[in-house]
Structure 1
């Protein structure tokens, strides 16, 4: 049975995770909290840091105000179950000897399922509408020979509009990839 489990874990590491595998990994609140912390930090962290943040979120306190019993309960669960499951799925690189955890690029697979990792805080639709309206006015100004836009050629105007849309799209993409809330989704108010 152990060989079958190891073979399944190896196949999970090499192949893309199926929807069922992702849901299985996200089944536990502690694992979701750990994923959130690792995704937010996006660098090598110590096992103790993960434990402290997961426990603090679970007990609705700060890492410094945790009781040792609360920390220990979460530590055991993470150590025995949750961190090894994430490592076996290839979501993290985990060294049990040093206690270092490094998220891999596969951690982004959860973004689509949890939807809040990349939740935009800015009204991007207004920026796109404003740029579209400005582009229409620019083209109408060139077509109607209104000063000062008549100094622009059609080629320069089209190139400028395409560049502006490209820059806005790139900024939007960067913002959504790098905007991760401080706390996990379960701790957010539903009124947000």
Structure 2
């Protein structure tokens, strides 16, 4: 019996240590299920020192509205600020993920914030920055190809509808096959060359 008695405290001590060491995956995923919390944690990962809550809220609002901080409307700022102030930041502070001083309006990473870093790795690594800097150019190029294919397809169907000579003689099925082939060609080229 004494061996069993000695084993139980050791097990409970280990469980206690696990709880203080970090959050469970379920808790991490629960925290990350809200976009505003993800944005807030991402911002704090990028700014490791203490930040003003106002700056954090403005950047989160800009990301949510796919714009810049300077272009934000007052309502967009206010809506995000209030939600962070009343709900999201206190929740993250309560879990030990951030240190949130509501009266001073300051926020900084807490002891458990590093557990969330792997979920934001794509924004921090040098190779990803290089890939991301080249990616918009490639995306714009392929977007341009798709845009022109769409214009040409619409023009082709428009010409058939208006009974242009030569084009009106082509059946609708043949026109559809031409359009599908055009997009298939561009898609396969993008897959091959990207």
TM-score (norm 1): 0.54
Q: Which has the higher helix share?
A: 2
The alignment of Structure 1 onto Structure 2 pairs a total of residues equal to: 117
1:16-69: CA deviations, max 9, x gaps?
Answer: 100001001101011100000001000100000000000000001111111010
Alignment pair present for 1:81 and 2:94: no
Q: 4+ runs of 1 displaced by more than 6 Å?
A: none
Q: Which residue does the alignment assign to 2:109?
A: 103
Structure of higher RCO (CA pairs closer than 8 Å, 6+ residues apart): 1
Contiguous gaps of at least 5 residues in structure 1:
1-10, 123-178, 183-187
Contiguous gaps of at least 5 residues in structure 2:
1-16, 140-193
Q: CA RMSD in A?
A: 2.8
In structure 2, what is the Cα distance between the partners aligned to 1:117 and 1:67?
Answer: 26
Q: Specify which of 26, 37, 40 is matched with residue 20 of structure 1.
A: 26
* 8 Å Cα contact 1:12/1:88 also seen in 2: no
Q: How does 1:111-150 map to 2 (within 5 A)?
A: 111-121=117-127
1:104-158: CA deviations, max 9, x gaps?
Answer: 2421111223442544417xxxxxxxxxxxxxxxxxxxxxxxxxxxxxxxxxxxx
Alignment pair present for 1:70 and 2:106: no
TM-score (norm 2): 0.54
Q: How does 1:48-63 map to 2 (within 5 A)?
A: 48-63=54-69
